[in-house]
Amino acid sequence: MKIRRVVTGHGPDRRSGVASDTLVGPVTMALAPGTEFFTLWGGDDAASSPDDGSPHAFSTYFLPAGGFRFCVTTVAPERPSEMLTP
C-alpha cells in the first residue's frame, strides 16, 4: 500500500498552492509482518508559516526537542496460527 501525500506551500507572492503531490511507500520489518510505517512529513526544527512547502531536514525517526513528525502506522490483525509459529 502507498499513501498519497499532498503538500501545500506559499510562493513569493504569499499565495498558497500545491508544492508536491507524491505517493509514499511504507517501511516494513520482518519481525512485525503486516505492520507498515509511513513517515509522511517531519523536521528537526519547529515548523513555521508561511513556507514554500519544501521538505524540512530530519535525520532520525525519533525527534529532537522542537522537532516534529507526522507518521501513519498500520498494524495487521493478529492471527492465532501465526502466534504459534516460531
Going from N- to C-terminal start, the domains of the chain cover 3-84
Q: Grid coordinates standing for 7?
A: 503538500
Cell 525519533 belongs to 62
Q: Could you report the per-residue pLDDT of 1-47, keeping only the tens digit for each? A: 899 999 998 888 888 899 999 999 999 988 888 899 998 988 888 87
Task: Classify 37 as helix, strand or coil.
Answer: strand
Compute the C-alpha angle 41/44/47, nearest 5°: 65
Helix (H) or strand (E) holding 5: strand 3-10
Q: Could you report the per-residue pLDDT of 39-54, keeping only the tens digit for each? A: 898 888 887 777 888 8
**Which sign, positive or negative, has the C-alpha torsion 16, 68, 26, 60?**
positive
Q: How far apart are CA 69 and CA 40, in angstroms?
A: 8
